[in-house]
Structure 1
């Protein structure tokens, strides 16, 4: 009996020690902390300087951030200069962390999140841990109940890997495509990129274009958000570009090397597509991801497809290369069959159609493709449909011209506003001047906003989004909508399946089963964004019959 008690106590002690090893992770040791003693200076509204680092907040929702130095210095300066957007975006991260946790108490959320991301710090390169540690000094202290600041920011980088269920990948279906020099009048390769990552409307409006001058590796620019050092879209000073694409994966049981950090390492240390492939090859990943990588040095582009079981690449043909959110390599044995019911496959077909219909491409033609809201064969499928190349729900839209180190970045109005041009050679040569310029953009190369934002259809869509919020939050305790209000709602976005699904939901709350069924059937007759959402509507209709 005594031996059993001793064995039980030893086992319990080991369990506590093991739990503490991932619940309380050690912080990186920083030898030089001099960066923390500098003063934050303001040069006017939206313009801040911290030591050799600065930020310009443009009125178009674009935050131009420049940082340099050691990893900790870059992270610390990033945190202090972007504190406002960091705090707003951390609210969105914490909401998503709570949503993903099976336990809703503060300690339960922390326990689950720490268990999933256990030993994540042992898998990431020390320089990125130091940068994350510096950034974490400026997080919201009220969220310490979910873990200390360093551990929270570290875990946020695993959150991107968690959003891999089929319906989430379908709804957040990003696209990128490369146009070969045979269709660009020998301007070199052009790359277009639309990125969706739907946390909330505030998250979609503001974005950071981060220009980084690291101690080692290449200087680069990355499109990002507060509290994040990974790369989903970017270009380095050598003209190598990266665009990442999440692919449906089995739910991972633990975190490994976050795919966004793989993207960051490629951007910082690769000049050729072979170097990019070799970096991806050496990293473990428990989720599926594809990376569209283009290189000015090689004058080519490839898609690197990575799964927990293998890696493969697809090279550009004479004209184009298209990436959405499904595997294309036969070697990796994609078991899921895709067709036009799936947003990721539908978008790839639509992109190919738009590319084939265009004789030659310049940056204006690239912007037209990225702004496309139509369906296959130019059909009208409703605004906000995730089968569109532009679902009017983007975080950012970017055009790259690697040969000249130029990148065009979209501004708000649902990313249909102006594309500001940034020349990396010019940006990094001018960052040493003081005071910094009010904008790092080369304004003479700005692409104008889409004509669509001045149309009645666009005004209708904005009104539609406001009405969606009203009808979604309506309860039987509220006064019912008038018939003319519902007719007006229908006219705002008449070809969208969502219009009729919302009406069906409303009539179901009213217990008007006939009208609910009529609207659900109309919704199913439209182009539904994904097979999962189509099944949900079918289930609602079936429930009415029973």
Structure 2
């Protein structure tokens, strides 16, 4: 992992960040744009998309604080000239900060099935607050390759750390010098009519300017967002965690009563959303409630949380009651696609960040008290506190899962182009990830399209015996069986 330390006023911070990360920045931008090219291969449609984004983002600049626009301007001086056809550098980098929100809003992407939890007092071994989170934002393995653990000492506000990538000044997971933490989990969104404040920018503002839960809520209330998100705020000063639940037309705060444990997946829990149709539908049809119950189950099995136990929970690949549900299933806490996982101990200002791949690598420890006192050390990590890697990455099952992902892409591509697939390949797809419903579904779909209805029916019926991810997925399998 890369470590970055930056200090100074907003423009200077942007310039320094751009200068130090230029090569990584160009690399991330290339990966990101190639994703757009893959989703929208037509040059005509790309031109329409650019015009749409320019229109959609027309008021974005009004909703981003001047400080962050200035920092983005400094950073944009180091953006690649290769993509000026999309937009000039400053606007392009500004747009990229809203890319998560735009993708989430327009496609309701299932790229963001994040899981997080917090425990304190009698629920942890030493009574200290502990927070764990998986960021299941997936923009490809290459995108997640070059993670940055960033430390910022701004001229205004508080010093803070965040886990990020080159070109991103917003915050998805972070902690400040006062032991205030923020992490985000996507909720169910309606498609908004115009871009407002990107959630990563709101998160950044909370981290930089709040020391308590009350201050965090006040900052969140000031901003208008354009997607629905749960912001899990942990506070050393308050010695607990809460959820701030924001959406374009609603705002709620969820504070657990009579409990020292908070669980968050991808649905809202505060009174403000009790009758929200989108949220109720999401609980009923998605994998959010299932992961919520799995976190509950694992926390019940480990009544005294430690950072190591929190990491074991984040790495868990099984379903409820330890059922084998196939690797990569979105009902698992560890879907083997996370950009990063992180564990915070806010009162001690300690944070553990996962190294590649996913949450399986060593969790590297950072002590914020020590780093902000002595930021010029060669390495900022406190390696004595590191938590060992997950041996699963060296197993046959992991190798098979990686092979499954590759073969899955080939099979999907052949189904789309109506090419023939030999029986050996189809059988291999099932055998590489035998507990996963999707393998059988894809094979069944291929048979169905070819008119091999008996074979298709048998395979769809096997898929039905597995843990299918969502209600719409299950309905699709049922429709094929009925047909």
Same fold (TM over 0.5): yes
Residues 377-386 or 453-462, more deviating:
453-462
Q: Does 1:214 align with 2:165?
A: no
Q: Over residues 378-408 of structure 1, what are the superposed CA-to-partner deviations in whole Å (9 max), with x where a residue is unaligned?
A: 1111110001111001000000000110100
Q: What TM-score do you get using the length of structure 2 for normalisation?
A: 0.92
Determine the structure 1 residue equivalent to 2:291. Answer: 347
Report the alpha carbon displacement of residue 245 of structure 1 after superposing the two structures with TM. Answer: 1.4
Q: Does 1:116 align with 2:56?
A: yes
Are the counterparts in 2 of residues 107 and 145 from structure 1 also a CA contact under 8 Å? no
Determine the structure 2 residue equivalent to 1:387. Answer: 331
Match of 2:276 among 334, 347, 367: 334
Determine the structure 2 residue equivalent to 1:83. Answer: 22
Q: 1:128 to 1:455 in 2, by over 3 A?
A: same
Determine the structure 1 residue equivalent to 2:263. Answer: 322
Are the counterparts in 1 of residues 97 and 168 from structure 2 also a CA contact under 8 Å? yes
5 Å matches for 1:154-233? 154-164=94-104, 168-233=108-173
What is the total number of aligned residue pairs between the two structures? 477
Residues 309-318 or 115-124, more deviating:
309-318
Residues 390-399 or 465-474, more deviating:
465-474
Q: Over residues 280-312 of structure 1, what are the superposed CA-to-partner deviations in whole Å (9 max), with x where a residue is unaligned?
A: 011112321110001111111110111222322
Q: Does 1:521 align with 2:461?
A: yes
Are the counterparts in 2 of residues 193 and 398 from structure 1 also a CA contact under 8 Å? yes
Residues 311-320 or 151-160, more deviating:
311-320
Q: Distance in 2 between matches of 1:102 and 1:525?
A: 40
5 Å matches for 1:81-480? 81-95=20-34, 99=39, 104-164=44-104, 168-317=108-257, 318-332=259-273, 333-335=275-277, 336-339=280-283, 341-431=285-375, 433=376, 436-437=377-378, 439-474=379-414, 480=421
Q: Secondary structure of the residue that 1:449 maps to in structure 2?
A: coil
Q: Distance in 2 between matches of 1:254 and 1:536?
A: 32
Q: Does 1:72 align with 2:11?
A: yes
Q: Secondary structure of the residue that 2:79 maps to in structure 1?
A: coil
Q: Over residues 227-257 of structure 1, what are the superposed CA-to-partner deviations in whole Å (9 max), with x where a residue is unaligned?
A: 2111111001111000011111111111111
Are the counterparts in 2 of residues 162 and 251 from structure 1 also a CA contact under 8 Å? no
Report the alpha carbon displacement of residue 455 of structure 1 after superposing the two structures with TM. Answer: 2.5
Q: Distance in 1 between matches of 2:222 and 2:380?
A: 35
Report the alpha carbon displacement of residue 468 of structure 1 after superposing the two structures with TM. Answer: 1.8
Q: Which has the larger radius of gyration?
A: 1
Determine the structure 2 residue equivalent to 1:34. Answer: none
Q: 1:180 to 1:256 in 2, by over 3 A?
A: same
Q: Distance in 1 between matches of 2:341 and 2:261?
A: 19
Q: Over residues 7-56 of structure 1, what are the superposed CA-to-partner deviations in whole Å (9 max), with x where a residue is unaligned?
A: xxxxxxxxxxxxxxxxxxxxxxxxxxxxxxxxxxxxxxxxxxxxxxxxxx
Q: Secondary structure of the residue that 1:297 maps to in structure 2?
A: coil
Are the counterparts in 2 of residues 162 and 252 from structure 1 also a CA contact under 8 Å? no
Report the alpha carbon displacement of residue 265 of structure 1 after superposing the two structures with TM. Answer: 0.2
Q: 1:520 to 1:83 in 2, by over 3 A?
A: farther
Structure 1: where are the runs of 5+ without partners?
Answer: 1-61
Q: What TM-score do you get using the length of structure 1 for normalisation?
A: 0.82
Q: 1:488 to 1:287 in 2, by over 3 A?
A: closer
Q: Over residues 60-87 of structure 1, what are the superposed CA-to-partner deviations in whole Å (9 max), with x where a residue is unaligned?
A: xx22111111111111221222223322
Q: Distance in 2 between matches of 1:414 and 1:259?
A: 23
Q: Secondary structure of the residue that 1:82 maps to in structure 2?
A: helix
Residues 441-450 or 510-519, more deviating:
510-519
Q: 1:256 to 1:293 in 2, by over 3 A?
A: same
Are the counterparts in 1 of residues 234 and 240 from structure 2 also a CA contact under 8 Å? yes
Q: Over residues 443-484 of structure 1, what are the superposed CA-to-partner deviations in whole Å (9 max), with x where a residue is unaligned?
A: 10110011322322222212222322332333688674343x
Structure 2: where are the runs of 5+ without partners?
Answer: none
